[in-house]
Amino acid sequence: MCSTGMGTTNILTIDVEDWYMDTDISTWDSYEDRIVESTNKILKILDESNTKATFFVVGYVAEHFSELIEDIKDRGHEIGTHGYSHTSIKKQTSSEFEKDLLKSVRILEDITKDKISGYRACEFSIGEKTAWAIDILKKKGLKYDSSVFPVKTHLYGVPDAALYPYHITASNIKRDNPEEDFLEFPLSVYY
Average pLDDT of span 55-68: 98
Average pLDDT of span 134-160: 94
3-state helix, strand, coil in the chain (%, to 5): 35, 15, 50
User: What fold, for 10-17+34-184?
Assistant: TIM Barrel (3.20.20)
Percent of the chain having pLDDT more than 70? 95
42 contacts: CB under 8 Å, gap ≥ 6: 14
Percent of the chain having pLDDT more than 90? 89
CA 82 to chain centre: 4
Contact between 79 and 116 under an 8 Å Cβ cutoff? The reply is: yes
Q: Binning pLDDT at 50, 70 and 90, where does residue 1 land?
A: very low
Domain boundaries, the chain: 10-17+34-184
Residue 53 confidence (pLDDT): 97
Give one DSSP letter per residue of 103-149, joined into a string.
HHHHHHHHHH-S---EE--GGG--SGGGTHHHHHHHHTT--EE----
